[in-house]
Amino acid sequence: MFNFDPIDNWKSSDIRIASFDVDPQRGFSPLCPNELPVPDGHRIVDALNEQAKLASIRIVSCDCHPPNAVWLADENHPQLSPIIGHPNCDLYWNSHCIIGTEGAELLPGLPSISQYNFVVYKGLAPNMHPYGACYHDLAEKKTTGVIEFLKVRKVDAILVGGLCENYCVATTAMQLAKAGFKVFVNLDATRYLGDPTAEREKMKKDGIVLLNTLSDFSVKTL
């Protein structure tokens, strides 16, 4: 059971750390091979749970898609082909994380949804497919409220992991960094599709620290 220390109990000298589990769902793992399986995506659970031990706030985001989404790939619209006419959907994707299905569930071994301190459900609208967890739209104008929550809680640093690294994790990390937080991406707590080099370079340019393992993390870097 994850315990949250209310803000009133913080000491003024505390470094306030949040742990952010980005879309750690079965639909992005080999547990659901017909969705968007990330190689070894189901093996990040222990690392996510370990990084949460360093934090006083634990957040999770979840893709939560309707079955009539306009971005669903089919024989006429193959996966990763561009979408025209929908500003908040850029590419067609295979069906994944549909509301009420196994793919939408969290990976086994993670806390239940009710045990997290803040939950982001994204992609609920049929014509919206955001990657980052901080905004519902691709233009990053419609907030999900998580940045505001973290600021109210006076968080200093955020440890980020989840699925997958070079899409939703990287986008979320960069959104958090642009909002003024010190962000650390725990590479041991994420997995990627293809080559993550370009997104890693973008994250570094935004001041995000990439940790090979959690042992590389130190509040002295804040």
For the segment 143-158, what is each residue's pLDDT rounded down to a tens digit? 999 999 999 999 999 9
- pLDDT at 15 (0 to 100): 79
- pLDDT at 1 (0 to 100): 34
- pLDDT at 11 (0 to 100): 41
pLDDT less than 50: residues of the chain: 1-13
- pLDDT at 156 (0 to 100): 94
**How many C-alpha atoms does 20 have within 13 Å on its Cβ side?**
34
Q: Fold for domain 16-65+107-122+131-217?
A: Rossmann fold (3.40.50)
- pLDDT at 205 (0 to 100): 97
- pLDDT at 13 (0 to 100): 45
Token code pair at residue 181: 């937080």
Token code pair at residue 119: 């939950």
Peptide bond connecting 168 to the previous residue in cis, omega within 30 degrees of 0 = no
Q: Which of 73, 122, 80 is nearest to 94 (CA)?
A: 73
Amino acid at 134: C
